[in-house]
Structure formats: structure tokens, C-alpha cells
Amino acid sequence: MKIQLNNRQKKIVEIVKDNEPITSHKIAERLSLTRGALRADLSVLTMTNILEAKPKVGYFYSNTDTKYIDLDKLYRKRVEDIKSIPVVVKEETSVYDAIVTLFFEDVGSLFVIDDQQILVGVISRKDLLKVTMGENDCNQIPVSIVMTRMPNIITVEKEDTIFQAAEKIVRYEIDTLPVVEPEDDGKLKVIGRISKTDIVRIFVDFSLEG
Ligand code: ADP
């Protein structure tokens, strides 16, 4: 079972771990609180089997499977910690070559950049599918015709939190965000990529780490 603890509950767990067995009176003393103020937290911790209470002896840290996820730690993680290498093409790349790149690189979207690595567009699976549904020669059509263009591209920077990235993915209903670094002239240089899968993975890994 995984539950989230508040800060005071986490502190209590740490105190008990280091000093078991310890009475509620002593725990209260260390936190400069009254025993009454601790009652609710202690009952949460014993009901969830994180702590064990032995009458007249005190509280023990219980070695059960119960773990807690420190969600604060997860939310503090930065885009920088999980970003991956961007998969990029040029504006003149053909739709055909873009599709081949999508398969080879095993991604859902490509970033379109200029010669200075500046972001000019994004092209997704469905953008490419759309062109192939018509009577078009995919070798003749450049991606610039079908891509979503700047300034309509949603981006993140490496110092942003992964929560901010996740929020953008949900709000704008997109699968991938370019990680960018603004240049002095305001143009955005592409330095990475964050996908829906990266976000899901960090939640799963974090829970497994427990
Ligand atoms: P798919 O179309 O394959 O489901 P998305 O949901 O990511 O993939 O893309 C939906 C639309 O949004 C596409 O037209 C795509 O060009 C555009 N798009 C994708 N990523 C972004 C982004 N980061 N910012 C703005 N538009 C984007």
C-alpha cells in the first residue's frame, strides 16, 4: 500500500526510526507539541501500520510493506532530470523522410529546426497521416507545409518542473514538448524533448523506488 504523509507525519516516522521504542510523550517533546496535538497523526501512522504501538513501551517503526511516496520530492524534479534527445528534421525534409525518421527513431513527433538549431515547427503522427490520406506524393511535399509553426508551439525550459510539463501536455492535448533555451534575440534553441511517456515513466519509477 502507498499513501502520502504530511510533513509532520514524516518527521514523526524519522524520530521513531531513530529512537524506537519511544513514547508519545517523548515524540511530542521533540516536536515541541502537546501529546494531544500529535494524537491524530499517530493514529494515522498506526492504522496504516507504518508505526506499531506497544502499551507502556512506546512506538516502533514497523517493517511491513507499507511505504509512502514523497510526492513533494517528485514534484520538485526538473525537466532537466528526465529530458531526452530531440529528434529533429529540417523544413525542407519530405513528408516521406519524416515518416521514415518517426519509425527509425521510435517517436511520435518530430521537431523542425533551422540551421542554427532554432525551433520552427512540430510535426506529429497525425499531421503526417493527414497528408498521406490525400492523393499526394509524400516525396514531393516538405514538412513545412503540414507542421504546426512557431509561435504556436508549446515549450518548456530545463529549469521547469516536470509537473509544469505534465500540466502543459494535459492542457494543450499534445504528446510531446520541445525543451528549449531562449537565445539573446528571443529565438528558441531546441535542447531536448519531453513526452507523455517520459512523464508516465517518472511516476512509475518513483513509485517502484518507494
Ligand atoms: P498526434 O497528432 O499524433 O496525436 P499530438 O497530440 O502531439 O500528436 O499533436 C496534435 C497536434 O498538435 C498536431 O497538429 C501537432 O502538430 C500539434 N503539436 C504537437 N506538439 C505540439 C507542441 N508542443 N506545441 C504546439 N502544437 C503541438
Q: Look at residue 120 in the predicted model and tell me its pLDDT.
A: 98
Compute the distance from residue 165 Cα to the ligand 1 centre, in Å: 14
Residue type, 163: F
Element at 141 (helix H, strand E): none
Compute the distance from residue 172 Cα to the ligand 1 centre, in Å: 9
CB atoms within 10 A of CB 188: 21
The C-alpha atoms of residue 40 and residue 32 are separated, in whole angstroms, by: 16
Q: What number is the average pLDDT over the span 8-29?
A: 93
Domain-wise residue ranges, the chain: 7-75, 79-195
The C-alpha atoms of residue 43 and residue 24 are separated, in whole angstroms, by: 11
Q: Which residue has the cell 520538485?
A: 76
Please tell me the pTM assigned to this model.
0.73
Q: Look at residue 69 in the predicted model and tell me its pLDDT.
A: 61
Query: Which amino acids bring their CB within 6 angstroms of ligand 1?
Result: 108-109, 122-127, 148, 152-154, 173-177
Architecture of domain 7-75: Orthogonal Bundle (1.10)
Q: Look at residue 90 in the predicted model and tell me its pLDDT.
A: 98
- From 95, 126, 160, 198, mutation site for ligand 1 pocket: most ligand atoms within 8 A of C-beta: 126
pLDDT at residue 131 tops 60 = yes
The CA-based dihedral angle spanning residues 187, 125, 192, 203, taken in that order and rounded to the nearest 10 degrees:
130
Compute the distance from residue 139 Cα to the ligand 1 centre, in Å: 22
User: Any idea which of 35-49, 81-95, 150-164, 183-197 has the lowest mean pLDDT?
Assistant: 35-49
List, as own/partner pairs, every contact residues 153-157 make where C-beta atoms lie below 8 angstroms and the sequence separation is at least 24, other chains included: 153/119, 153/121, 153/122, 153/178, 155/119, 155/179, 155/180, 155/188, 156/79, 156/180, 156/194, 157/79, 157/181, 157/182
Compute the distance from residue 105 Cα to the ligand 1 centre, in Å: 17
Q: Look at residue 73 in the predicted model and tell me its pLDDT.
A: 74
Query: Per-residue pLDDT tens for 31-81?
Result: 999 988 899 999 888 888 889 999 889 999 986 655 556 667 777 789 999
Q: How sure is the predictor about 173, in pLDDT bands with cuts at 50, 70 and 90?
A: very high
pLDDT at residue 183 tops 70 = yes
The C-alpha atoms of residue 94 and residue 136 are separated, in whole angstroms, by: 12
Compute the distance from residue 108 Cα to the ligand 1 centre, in Å: 9
Proportion of the chain above pLDDT 70, given as a percent: 92
pLDDT at residue 11 tops 90 = yes
Q: Look at residue 56 in the predicted model and tell me its pLDDT.
A: 87
Class of domain 79-195: alpha beta
Closest atom of ligand 1 relative to the 121 alpha carbon:
16
- From 79, 109, 123, mutation site for ligand 1 pocket: most ligand atoms within 8 A of C-beta: 109
Closest atom of ligand 1 relative to the 173 alpha carbon:
6
Average pLDDT for the chain: 90
Q: How sure is the predictor about 206, in pLDDT bands with cuts at 50, 70 and 90?
A: confident
User: Any idea which of 22-26, 70-74, 153-157, 206-210 has the lowest mean pLDDT?
Assistant: 206-210
